Structure formats: C-alpha cells, structure tokens
Amino acid sequence: MMTKFEKLFMVLVIAFSTTSCSHVKGMITVSAPVKPKETPAQTKETPKPAQEASSQTTTTQVQPGSGDYFPAGVKIVAGNILSFMGTLYTAKFYTATVVTEPSAATKGEGLVRMTWEVREGKELEMPNQEHWTPYIADTRPAKEEDFVVGALVFATGDTHGRTPEKLAQSTEWGLRRIKDVSELYKGIVITEYFDSYWNQWKEWHYHKNNIRAIIGEFSADLRK
C-alpha cells in the first residue's frame, strides 16, 4: 500500500504535468502557408480585350480621287421639254445616269435613268424615271477660274452654300449664265436666265459651292 507521502507526491506530479501541457498547447499556433512573392518576370497582366471597330460607318458621295460629290457616271440631263420653252433656261434639269449613249442610230438622243431623290433620309422615285433626251451634260464642281461672265453653268439652291453631302442629294438643277462676279469675294455669284414664258431675263444669286461647271460644249438653244 502507498503511504500518504507517496500519494501526495503522485498528485503533485500529475498536477504539474497537466499544467505544463496546457501552457505548451496555448503557445502552439497553426499558420497559413505563405504565398511566395512573384518576381517582375513572373507577374502576368490579364490581357485586355481588343477594342471593337466602330459600327458607325460614313458613306461619301465623292468619286475617288476626283473631289466630286456626284457618284461616278452621274450627269445632268433635261427633263420634259414643253412647247412654250424657247430655250433650255426654262427647262428643268435632273441628275441621271445614261443607259444608252447618244449616237447616229438614236438620232443624237440618249436613254437616261433618273437618280433617286432623297428627302428626310428617304429615297423617292422620280417621275418618268427613264426617258430619251439629247440634252445631256458632263459637269464638275466649279472652281474659281470657272466664274467668268457669260459662261454657262448649272446651279441649285440659293446663296446659302450647301455641303457636299447635301449637293450629292440635290437632284434638280437649272441652266444659268454668269452675269456678275463682283460679289465673288463673299462667295456669291450673280447669274441670269431667260424666262421664255415672260420673254425676259431674270437674275438669280447662288453661293459658289452650289454651282457646277460644264465639261465640253453645251448650248442653251433647243435642238432644231
């Protein structure tokens, strides 16, 4: 049998062991694994998606390399000639493309197809879309040297200069003769036309941007 002293000694040993284990347990900590730092060579940037091309496109009416707002092949042609018209000044002219070129076989007339008239972004079909006419003119935007008194030109609008985009949509033009260039410094050209109905000359002022020069020979007289 154990003596009182031995029992007391064992109790002290057990108590000391329990206290030491609790102290050590309180000091033990579990640390999360440390992620090693990446060197600059190891760092990878997230690739950025390429920027999408703009869906907005711009459509121009200018012929490549020509500086003309008319599409290639577009000419200015006379509409219906009425009996009272003594000259082409009173006739209405329109933009058109030539379907059949004038020749001896066609008696000098060409079959033309009217272009589309654009109003508020909508295309409207011109009346009498195709017809025969001998009055077909090649034109180009007028330059400073084209503004000569007495020269025949085609014009549209008024004294407000139109943009190339608006001029490309202008389907109706008038035959005019330059009368005065004294206000050209303002961008204004004074023209005149003969009104066969009233039998008198009338003036009309245009912005120089709204005028097209005639390429080659063209007469204001009706063909006989």
Provide the pLDDT confidence category of residue 7 given band limits of 50, 70 and 90.
low
Residue 11 has what pLDDT? 54
Within 8 A by CB and 6+ apart from 164, the residues are 60, 61, 62, 69
Any idea where the domains of the chain sit in the sequence?
74-215
From residue 190, alpha-carbon distances to 131, 166, 182, 198 in Å are 32, 21, 8, 20
According to the model, what pLDDT value does residue 55 have?
A: 27
Letter string b/e over residues 148-159, b meaning 16 or more CB atoms within 10 A of that residue's CB? eeebbbbbbbee
On the question of pLDDT at 219 being above 50, the answer is yes
Confidence of residue 37 (pLDDT cuts 50, 70, 90): low
> Of the ranges 112-126, 135-149, 158-172, which one carries the lowest mean pLDDT score?
112-126
- Taking alpha carbons only, the member of 159, 215, 218, 145 closest to residue 191 is 159
Separation CA 57–CA 197 (nearest Å): 47
- At 51-91, the pLDDT tens digits run 333 223 223 334 444 689 999 999 999 998 887 788 999 99
Task: Judge whether residue 212 has pLDDT over 80.
Answer: yes
Q: What percentage of residues in the chain have a pLDDT greater than 70?
A: 68
Distance CA 116, CA 61 (A): 13
State yes or no: pLDDT of 42 exceeds 50. Answer: no
Look at residue 40 in the predicted model and tell me its pLDDT.
46
Distance CA 162, CA 185 (A): 17
